[in-house]
Amino acid sequence: MVKMTSSLDHELRTPLAAIQGFVALLQEGGVSASEEREYLLMIARSAQRLQVLLDQNRAVLRQIRTESD
């Protein structure tokens, strides 16, 4: 369980770091309209990846609970 938690932590931090980095770039300004669109697309992809990971985690936890009952 510790290994799974450690792995999940790493998997969640990667897309979160991307989101934070691109938001920071957008907040600084000075990016072209095409760069802005690209950054927003990357933010959306990273957020989608986070959602997939959280959904997978929920499914695993549900299975663990079912097996332990």
Reported as a single tens digit per residue, the pLDDT across 5-32 is 778 888 999 999 999 999 999 999 999 9
Question: What average pLDDT does the segment 39-68 reach?
Answer: 91
What average pLDDT does the structure give for the chain?
91
Q: Going from the N-terminus, what domains does the chain have, and what CATH number goes with each?
A: 2-68 (1.10.287.130)
Crossing angle between the packed helical segments 2-28 and 33-68, to the nearest 10 degrees = 160
Here the tokens at position 20 are: 């934070």
**Reported pTM:** 0.82
Q: Is 15 left (phi over 0), alpha (psi -120 to 50) or beta?
A: alpha
Cα separation, 4 vs 57, in Å, equals 10
Query: What is the 8-class DSSP label of residue 31?
Result: -
